[in-house]
Structure 1
Amino acid sequence: MATDRSDARERMRPVDPRLLRYARASRGFFVAIAAIGFAQTLTIVAFAWLLTSAVTTAIAGGELTGILFPLAGVVALRAVLLWVRESIASRAAARVQTQLRTGLIDAVGTLGPGWLATHNSARLAVVAGRGLDALESYFGRYLPQLVQTVIATPILVIVMWWQDWISGLTVLLTIPLIPLFMALIGVATRAVQQRQWATLGQLAARFADTVRGLSTLKVFGRQHRAVRSIERVTTEYRRETMRVLRVSFLSGFALEFLASISVAIIAVSIGFRLLDGELGLFVGLFVLLLAPEAYLPLRQVGVQFHAAAEGVAATEDVFAVLDAAAGVQSTVAAPAVPPARDGVLEMREVRVRRGDRTLPPVSFTARPGTVTLVEGPSGAGKSSLLAALLGAAGFDGTATFDGVDAGTLTPATWLAWAGQQPGLIAGTVAANVTLGDLAPDPALVDRALELALVGGLAPEHELGVQGSGLSGGQAQRVAVARAFYRHLRGLGPVVALDEPSAALDAGTEADLWASVRSLADAGATVVLVSHRETARAIADRVVRLTAEVPA
């Protein structure tokens, strides 16, 4: 319970301190907004003073020329300061969005595919997209108003007390009611906003899953049920959105009502004292003009909090990912320097963890110029073994590449991998083959396609989403060509292939095995996962895995 309360207090902070840590652009923003807020407060006082002087002078029949020009200048200055504040806030929001998006992508890379597999990737996409876009309201409205409140409210109360201590005391006694109601309303707002944000993440995940499995759903006649499911979540999201709007409108009314009542109390007090002659017209009118301005910043903070609530909810999700990545980095003393590329992969008593299961231990040494075949029945852990090398699955034991702990190395620096799912993207065939290479080599692209038996496929051929436009066998061979290219480019001395012939006929499979063997003979360290008996013909060593017998 104590932890829950501390978490709630952390979420209720007006400004999360992690924002300053993870988004450096926000630091200069606060300094600039504070300076502008102070200048705006001075213009408010000057405007009230000059306007009061104009009214009292006009009543007395005096000359207004010397007052109206400064008054117009103050009005113009106040408009300029407002424009400058909006401009700074907009630019700061854009820079912070960029920094947080970059940090989020880097954090996901640090946490690895194993972490990503256990989290809602569709929700992460919504957070990185729409969620961080909502920071425009957070930076453009809420934070400037919050800083303005911290600066303007004390100054205006002091000025009012200096001119009329009774009005100043009235403000001091009534103004705490607004933060109190804001806190109570904020708790309700945060709760409904979090439910709305969670529903949006659920909707994104449901829609993404439906699109990915649409062909299967249509084959089994379940597409209408999927549509109804999305419709149900969409209806729930609409309800949560309306609930947020209701709370926003009610809170706005409550804050306005409290401020209006407080100003009315001050106005009535000033009116009676003016009638009794206890207070001069100049002081009374000056204080009366400042009274609404004293309450306005606090009222606006409450109003703008609702406009920024979605951005606040998104930043919490971003900070959670960044904190997790920082925790992972702190547990590693220093990243290992990539080894000297001898290409020796050694695994000693490696037991891969899959959920609550721990697979049987595996030990082998794969050297350059050899093909190590990993075979076994379905469920024995063949693919899980490669997932451990990729960082997508945890394991006990030791896995080293040229004597360096493989867990401290980025897989992209030593591993050329092709999985059972092709993992192609929209773009050209060449773009898919050279994925991750900043300086592609067209000649090596052609060579890799030939080795993968898709030499007849033009590198400039455009593919659709997820590689649509190719047959299953072609897509699989393009993925194999990508692994071959990385090795030929010198980016991956170890070639790891997971069931590369699953979608191939016997003749094409034999040709692919010949290509794999040729790479090994040229110095590659090949780890081949396959259940095909024909793979034994090119293997230098066979590692047989056995399925774990349930207790």
Structure 2
Amino acid sequence: MRPLDPRLLRRSRAARGFLAAGGALALVQSAAIVAFAWSLASLVTGFIDGMSMADGVPFLVLLVAAASVRAVAAWVWDVVGSAGATRVKAELRSELLTALEAEPEGLPDFPTARIATLLGPGLDALDAYFGQYLPQLVSTIVVTPILIAMAWIADPLSGLVLVIVLPLIPVFMALIGMATQVVQRRQWESLASLSRGFLEVVGGLSTLLLFRRAERQTARIRAVTDEYRSHTMKVLRITFLSGFTLEFAASLSVALVAVSIGLRLVAGDMMLIAGLFVLVLAPEVFLPLRNVGAAFHASTEGVAASVDAFDLLDAAEQAGRAPVRDTAAAAEIPDAGSGLQLRGIRVVRGDRVVLDGLDLEAGRGELVAVTGESGSGKSSLFAALLGFVPIEGAAQLDGWRLGAGAGADARSKVAWSGQAPALLAGTIASNVRLGDEDADPALCMRACRLAGVELDPELRLGPGGSGLSGGQAQRVATARAIHRLLARDAPLLLLDEPSSAQDADREAALGDALRELAAEGRIVVVSTHRTAFAARADRIVELEPAHV
């Protein structure tokens, strides 16, 4: 049985803190259990020997105090487990999001659906691990040896029996854990497959309805759902079987100790107080192990998710360590003045060179159109300037370095819009002002006018900008980039295919608006396939694949 990927304890400070606090609580629980067993045995044997009620009061007080301390420790365990799970999940999500932000092109083995499942229900399953499984595991490591030692001191023969029979339960747990790990992994993969299939169907729903293929996808979702249900039932079957096995083994072990004590008490070979003390301790010796087995199955989904999380982090680290030829020193700009200046720009995506040897200068007041066939590197150039992909060469804006590793001050000088609108649920105005909500409302109106957004700014959109046509969504995204440009007084505007979904009249109006922005002393760079739109620029830079 694998309790958790050890990388969690190496990476998470919250997890290490949880274990330290858990060890202290386990020691308190051990002392409370021993005190409870000793006071109860003393109280019973004392009354049998004729002890007065007054003489039994100290033992009664100790009995109640020990029970109270144990109850409080169990409550603190719940609080610490809940807080620990929250902190660990926050740390993991922060690391995962940071890793994904550093790899905007994504990782080969981690599609969007798998990542969404991991960040959502996957990490949420760690609640059961920290709230149920890990406390019992710590108790097993700390409490069980202490109780066995106390039982051995009171009665060596009972201690020897406990030492002999106790390893049987971990053996059963290991065998059950190996079987559970296989079916749990399949269940987790089925959940990821179900999420991926559902997202694919939602994303292509309009196309499926158009070509009347929705029913086929309904059958596909039904099949994946049945597969997930089947794997879940297998996990439950193993859970119930393992619970019965562990309970039977623990009960049989306690019975062996009880029979041995009973026979020796009858024969007069053992004192009653020692026998009662060991009889009270014996079930407590096996209780943490039984609870570990019962809680293990509730935590396995979180274990599988944590393995996925660290696999993703390792993959991101490997991608980050991929060798990149550094030509920045060789392509330094000797006299970096104002404007956009690119020297020897080279962009590599995977093992393919998409841009090589690009030189470009654009001054304030210029509108530059970047053209070229698909795959020539237009979008890759923008991604490199924004820091989304590694860039080789020198790229500067008004003396500020651009690209991967650029500071927040440099990034704030660039406003951009990609090919996908990427709108959010809310009003048009909230989408346009995203990131600059405190800016002058008049800037929102001007940005909408320049981008050709003729809709009511208070019109509410659904998730992903639903409720707008493709052209309308594109204009809202362009307005958002223009609003950022105006609100932050940025010198550079990058627009990737801003007129691809526009008719000729709207395309001409957008060209005039961009010339208006350039005339105010800004640099506007657009990528486009449209010849008419490119003709409205001051300069046209035509790219060829891996060569300019």
Does residue 319 (structure 1) correspond to residue 313 (structure 2)? The answer is no
1:380 Cα shift? 3.8
**What does residue range 55-70 of structure 1 map to in structure 2 within 5 Å?**
55-64=44-53, 65-66=56-57, 67-70=59-62
Out of 203, 222, 229, the residue aligned to residue 194 of structure 2 is 203
Query: In 1, Cα distance between the equivalents of 2:355 and 2:95?
Result: 37
Distance 1:449 1:200, change over 3 A: same
Per the alignment, in what secondary structure is the counterpart of residue 87 of structure 1? helix
Structure 2 counterpart of 1:128: 119
1:228 Cα shift? 0.9
Q: Which amino acid aligns with 2:393?
A: T
Per the alignment, in what secondary structure is the counterpart of residue 217 of structure 2? helix
Out of 288, 291, 298, the residue aligned to residue 297 of structure 1 is 288
Kept in 1, the 8 Å contact 2:494–2:525? The answer is yes
Per the alignment, in what secondary structure is the counterpart of residue 421 of structure 1? coil
Distance 1:528 1:258, change over 3 A: same
* Structure 1 residues not aligned, in runs of 5+: 1-11
Structure 1 counterpart of 2:425: 426
Per the alignment, in what secondary structure is the counterpart of residue 114 of structure 1? coil
Query: In 1, Cα distance between the equivalents of 2:489 and 2:252?
Result: 71
Structure 2 counterpart of 1:49: 38
Structure 1 counterpart of 2:85: 93
Out of 103, 108, 119, the residue aligned to residue 110 of structure 2 is 119
1:476 Cα shift? 0.7
Q: Which amino acid aligns with 1:26?
A: A
Structure 2 counterpart of 1:377: 373
Does residue 185 (structure 1) correspond to residue 184 (structure 2)? The answer is no
Out of 99, 103, 123, the residue aligned to residue 107 of structure 1 is 99
Query: In 1, Cα distance between the equivalents of 2:75 and 2:290?
Result: 21
Per the alignment, in what secondary structure is the counterpart of residue 370 of structure 2? strand
Query: In 1, Cα distance between the equivalents of 2:340 and 2:168?
Result: 70
1:241 Cα shift? 0.8
Please give the per-residue CA displacement for 1:41-92, whole angstroms capped at 9, x wherever unaligned.
Answer: 1111111112222332343343354233432332233222211221222222
Kept in 1, the 8 Å contact 2:447–2:479? The answer is yes
Please give the per-residue CA displacement for 1:507-536, whole angstroms capped at 9, x wherever unaligned.
Answer: 111111111122223232222111212123
1:343 Cα shift? 3.9
Please give the per-residue CA displacement for 1:289-333, whole angstroms capped at 9, x wherever unaligned.
Answer: 211211111221122111111122222223333445556677899
Question: Which range is displaced more, 63-72 or 427-436?
Answer: 63-72
Question: Which range is displaced more, 322-331 or 360-369?
Answer: 322-331
Please give the per-residue CA displacement for 1:437-475, whole angstroms capped at 9, x wherever unaligned.
Answer: 364332222221111122x33333321111122222221
Distance 1:452 1:118, change over 3 A: farther
Distance 1:80 1:359, change over 3 A: closer
Percent identity of paired positions between Structure 1 and Structure 2: 50
Structure 2 counterpart of 1:541: 539
Q: Which amino acid aligns with 1:383?
A: S
**What does residue range 135-284 of structure 1 map to in structure 2 within 5 Å?**
135-284=126-275
Kept in 1, the 8 Å contact 2:107–2:316? The answer is no
Per the alignment, in what secondary structure is the counterpart of residue 459 of structure 1? coil
Q: Which amino acid aligns with 1:371?
A: L
TM-score, normalised relative to structure 2: 0.88
Please give the per-residue CA displacement for 1:347-377, whole angstroms capped at 9, x wherever unaligned.
Answer: 5253543x66544636231413322222223
TM-score, normalised relative to structure 1: 0.88
Question: Which range is displaced more, 216-225 or 538-547?
Answer: 538-547
Per the alignment, in what secondary structure is the counterpart of residue 113 of structure 1? coil
Kept in 2, the 8 Å contact 1:427–1:464? The answer is yes
Structure 2 counterpart of 1:450: 449
Per the alignment, in what secondary structure is the counterpart of residue 344 of structure 2? strand
Query: In 2, Cα distance between the equivalents of 1:148 and 1:120?
Result: 39
Structure 2 counterpart of 1:6: none
Kept in 2, the 8 Å contact 1:417–1:483? The answer is yes
Query: In 2, Cα distance between the equivalents of 1:388 and 1:30?
Result: 43
Query: In 1, Cα distance between the equivalents of 2:411 and 2:231?
Result: 43
Q: Which amino acid aligns with 1:436?
A: G
Per the alignment, in what secondary structure is the counterpart of residue 363 of structure 1? strand
Distance 1:345 1:173, change over 3 A: farther
Kept in 2, the 8 Å contact 1:114–1:394? The answer is no
Distance 1:175 1:343, change over 3 A: farther
**What does residue range 332-347 of structure 1 map to in structure 2 within 5 Å?**
342-346=338-342
Out of 460, 463, 466, the residue aligned to residue 464 of structure 2 is 466
1:416 Cα shift? 2.0
Query: In 2, Cα distance between the equivalents of 1:319 and 1:13?
Result: 15
Please give the per-residue CA displacement for 1:112-160, whole angstroms capped at 9, x wherever unaligned.
Answer: 3112686322222222222222222111111111111111111111101
1:258 Cα shift? 2.0
Per the alignment, in what secondary structure is the counterpart of residue 408 of structure 1? coil
Structure 1 counterpart of 2:393: 398
Kept in 1, the 8 Å contact 2:347–2:384? The answer is no
Distance 1:548 1:325, change over 3 A: closer
Kept in 1, the 8 Å contact 2:155–2:274? The answer is yes
Per the alignment, in what secondary structure is the counterpart of residue 406 of structure 1? coil
Per the alignment, in what secondary structure is the counterpart of residue 301 of structure 1? helix
Structure 2 counterpart of 1:494: 492
- How many residue pairs were aligned? 530
Q: Which amino acid aligns with 2:450?
A: L
Distance 1:428 1:63, change over 3 A: same
Query: In 2, Cα distance between the equivalents of 1:118 and 1:435?
Result: 32
